[in-house]
Amino acid sequence: MNKKVKTIGVLTSGGDAPGMNAAIRAVVRTGTYHGLRVMGVKRGYNGLINGDLVEMDARSVSDILQRGGTILQTARCLEFKTAEGVKKAFDIAKVFGLDGLIVIGGDGSFRGAKDLCQIGLPTVAMPGTIDNDISCSEYTVGYDTCLNTVVSAVDKIRDTAASHDRCSVIEVMGRGAGYIAINAAIACGADVVLVPEYKWSFDDDVLRPILESKSRGKRHSIVIVAEGIGGVIDIAKEVEAKTGIESRATILGHVQRGGSPSVRDRVTASQMGAHAVELLIAGKSNRVVCMQGGQITDVEIEEGLAMKKQLPKEMLTLAKELAF
Ligand code: ADP
Ligand code: F6P
């Protein structure tokens, strides 16, 4: 054990995700198990800049494993994107005696973690975001719970779409990434899926499949649209105008970010949180905990940020073929 690490901090940053609490619990329990003092930083990087830190012990994370959201709360902190903000955060970390920090969030939060490392605070990041859009990791905490929420909502929408012979156009989250959309489309048997990673046209990718599926005897249809494409109200109007099929639009919104984490999110958050603490104890920092080949591992933050992850085109093809 690296004797230098006595006190560590933990924060959640960016959009919240189910399983963040499980990750906080894992950090606190692994830390205290190994004799570390653990401080919780409130509202992401804001808490560091404003000195809003709370002492945490094993009992302070009782009964949170199954809860959505984050007990530390989260935020997007613009001040931290400046060199002065990072310096302020570093100074406060020193005042509270932090020898290391664990950041739970997405790639923006990882950039902040890298900045803190560069200025001298050993920091480790782990992926907590519903989007599954972290290139160095096959999986991000929150994604599975989000998908299950989406699937159960789309199943319900299908019930009413079927009852009325309608077309339902549904927006799911994902500004720059279509992972939620494509997996929900396959899991719900959508007729059409639009993701920001691949070009689409209304006539070829929306109108034609709906008309063709109608001609094959389908009486209702489901169109899933990633948030990054948006415009579901207009798409529904255009479908109705050009096909005569009554259409409705639904924006699922923030329901996708809440709820009790699934088993997968609880277990992965627990593994990743514990791994992050072990890295700091071993004297390692500037690392992102990630999942590769189904195993929990870690890479250098910069290296992780530079990696590319491509939403497989075959999944779009599969969604199309299975909608036949
Ligand atoms: P996510 O971590 O989910 O990608 P954001 O992109 O909103 O979410 O980032 C969360 C926070 O991380 C931001 O509010 C900011 O405090 C910090 N951050 C984001 N980008 C950077 C950056 N390029 N440099 C330093 N800090 C950043
Ligand atoms: O990154 C998670 C996410 O939920 C995205 O899917 C979405 O685009 C964004 O956050 C919405 O953020 P907010 O509504 O919190 O600003």
Instruction: Tell me phi and psi for residue 133, to 5 degrees.
Output: -105, 30
Atom of ligand 2 nearest to the CA of 177: 6
82 contact partners, CB below 8 Å, separation of at least 6: none
| pLDDT score for 31 | 98
Q: Which of 11, 104, 111 to mutate to test the pocket of ligand 1 (most atoms within 8 A of CB)?
A: 111
Enter the CATH code of domain 144-257: 3.40.50.460
One digit per residue, pLDDT tens: the chain, 324 residues? 455 899 999 999 999 999 999 999 999 999 999 999 999 999 999 999 999 999 999 999 999 999 999 999 999 999 999 999 999 999 999 999 999 999 999 999 999 999 999 999 999 999 999 999 999 999 999 999 999 999 999 999 999 999 999 999 999 999 999 999 999 999 999 999 999 999 999 999 999 999 999 999 999 999 999 999 999 999 999 999 999 999 999 999 999 999 999 999 999 999 999 999 999 999 999 999 999 999 999 999 999 999 999 999 999 999 999 999
CB 31 within 8 A of CB 62: no
Residue whose CA lies nearest to ligand 1 atom number 18? 108
Q: How far is the CA of 113 from the centre of ligand 1 (A)?
A: 9
Q: How far is the CA of 15 from the centre of ligand 1 (A)?
A: 10
| pLDDT score for 4 | 82
DSSP symbols for 208-244: HHHHHHHHTT---EEEEEETTT--HHHHHHHHHHHH-
| pLDDT score for 3 | 56
User: What is the reported pTM?
Assistant: 0.97
7-142+261-306 and 144-257 agree in CATH topology: yes
105 alpha carbon, closest ligand: 1
The neighbouring-strand residues paired with 289 are 298
How far the first Cα of the chain sits from its last, in Å, is: 58
3-state secondary structure of 125: strand
Atom of ligand 1 nearest to the CA of 45: 16
Q: Is 20 in the pocket of ligand 2 (CB under 6 A)?
A: no
For 254, other C-beta atoms within 10 Å of its C-beta total 10
Collect contacts of 216-220 with beta carbons under 8 A, ≥24 apart.
Answer: 216/324, 218/191, 219/162, 219/165, 220/158, 220/161, 220/162, 220/164, 220/165, 220/166, 220/167, 220/168
131 belongs to the catalytic site: yes
Instruction: Tell me phi and psi for residue 297, to 5 degrees.
Output: -145, -165
Residue whose CA lies nearest to ligand 1 atom number 22? 111
Among candidate residues 16, 107, 115, 131, the one labeled active-site is 131
Strands 192-194 and 221-226: parallel
Q: Which of 148, 178, 192, 137 is nearest to 308 (CA)?
A: 137
Q: Where are the domains of the chain?
A: 7-142+261-306, 144-257
The domain made up of 7-142+261-306 has a fold known as Rossmann fold (3.40.50)
Where do runs of H (alpha helix) occur along the chain?
20-33, 45-50, 83-95, 107-119, 143-164, 179-188, 208-215, 232-243, 263-281, 301-306, 313-322
Atom of ligand 2 nearest to the CA of 106: 1
